[in-house]
Amino acid sequence: MCALAENWALGSMSGTSLDGVDVALVKTDGHSITAFGPSFYRAYSTQERAVLTRALGQWPEGLGVAAAASVVELAHIEAMRALEARAGFCADIIGFHGQTLAHDPGRRGTHQVGQGARLAAALGRPVVWDFRSCDVAAGGQGAPLAPFFHFACARYLGAKLGQSGPMVFLNLGGVGNITWVDPAMAGPDAPLACVAFDTGPANAPINDLIQARLGVGFDNGGALAATGRVNLGVVSTFLAHPYFAKLPPKSLDRDSFVGLQSQVAGMADADAAATLVAVAAAGVAAGLRHLPTAPERVFVGGGGRHNAALMAALGQQMSCPVAPVEAVGLDGDMLEAQAFGFLAARVCAGLPLSAPLTTGVPAPTLGGQIARPPA
């Protein structure tokens, strides 16, 4: 182990939306968070995004995987060096999630491309990576892994908000995922401390639509979707999928609902965007039925919180306040990167990363590998 006291951890995330690399610093001992540090975003170029897109769905020996690994590793090294230059100090430990290319926990496992050893050699620090494999091997879904970090955030926010009741963290990345947290529990792996699962597609189908039709990466601010009309038939068909009746924990791959594109193919651009926004919000609303109790507040992170049409659709579906995490001083663009810094500290401290109600493992489960730099 690389046991840490309370020190700075650098976390990174390259999500299913394939927009770029987020890196962020968090001060933690793997139990609690005492400070959030600077962050940095390094966008993927059009060429890099094309390399990654070609490798989606591939397993380790598949076509294009080596090229995707090179893109991911070099982009992360650049981003991490830039962040540490900005911060003026080096992190004690690095958490490297890599880029998910395929996720099939029921059969083939999970595949995040990128080798921690290459980053450790380039950066000269221990790198914690391969966070999901142990969970999948133990019978879990391997996702989502942010819930234990959300528990620490809830504790961090508790005094600030004067709130001790359950709250929800909703991440709207390529795929949406939700964490219900009861910060009154003894720890994140206690029974009913955290309940987490993927809610359904979020930004990925919207971004894919906009890229294919308009040649840009996303619907800026949800402006296009705001002018469209929702096709309720598509939403109804979407909600009939057996995934939404399945009890959590449960998880999805980026392409689990790839058929959505064909369902909106004949619509005008605005109507198609509005329908995919409604689909994302409907998946979240369907997920709320599986929570132990209704949350007092919902905090939204991820790129989807910038989509005003999506945030409005969520507000209409929920009976409690819904707000971006910035409303309580957090950074919604960097929550997942911060999460993997926090989880890296937990790996170093020998603490579990998942529990039965977060990923479906039979018992709280350790995970991650530690790559050390050459002597």
Dihedral over Cα of 192, 196, 197, 201: its sign: positive
Average confidence (pLDDT) over 261-279: 97
What residues contact 141, with CB distance under 8 A and at least 6 apart?
A: 105, 135, 249, 250, 251, 359, 360
What residues contact 18, with CB distance under 8 A and at least 6 apart?
A: 44, 49, 52, 53, 174
Q: Is the whole model's pTM more than 0.85, yes or no?
A: yes
Residue closest to 243 by CA, chosen among 175, 305, 174, 194 = 175
Q: What is the mean pLDDT of the chain?
A: 94
List Cα–Cα distances, 24 to 262, 332, 336, in angstroms. Answer: 37, 12, 9
**pLDDT value for 3:** 54
**pLDDT value for 313:** 97
Average confidence (pLDDT) over 305-315: 97
82 close to 100: Cβ distance less than 8 angstroms: no
The pLDDT-based confidence of 360 (bands split at 50, 70, 90) is very high
Average confidence (pLDDT) over 73-86: 98
Residue closest to 251 by CA, chosen among 129, 98, 114, 135 = 135
The pLDDT-based confidence of 4 (bands split at 50, 70, 90) is low
Burial tier of 375 (Cβ tally within 10 Å: 0-12, 13-18, 19+)? exposed
Average confidence (pLDDT) over 290-294: 94
**pLDDT value for 375:** 82
Strands 127-129, 194-201: pairing is unpaired
Domains along the chain?
A: 7-145+333-371 (3.30.420.40), 162-328 (3.30.420.40)
**pLDDT value for 29:** 96
**pLDDT value for 16:** 74
**pLDDT value for 159:** 67
Tokens of 142: 């391997």
Rounded Cα gap, residues 35 and 39, in angstroms: 13
pLDDT at 1 over 70: no
What residues contact 289, with CB distance under 8 A and at least 6 apart?
A: none
**pLDDT value for 163:** 72
pLDDT at 258 over 90: no
**pLDDT value for 302:** 87
The pLDDT-based confidence of 73 (bands split at 50, 70, 90) is very high
Average confidence (pLDDT) over 56-63: 95
Residue whose tokens read 């659709």: 313
Cis preceding linkage at 249, omega within 30: yes
- Of 48-62, 109-123, 244-258, 315-329, the range with the lowest mean pLDDT is 244-258
Average confidence (pLDDT) over 342-352: 97
Average confidence (pLDDT) over 92-106: 94
Tokens of 168: 């929800």
The pLDDT-based confidence of 84 (bands split at 50, 70, 90) is very high
**pLDDT value for 365:** 97
Residues 135-183 pLDDT 10s = 999 999 898 899 999 999 999 988 677 777 899 999 998 899 899 999 9
**pLDDT value for 112:** 97
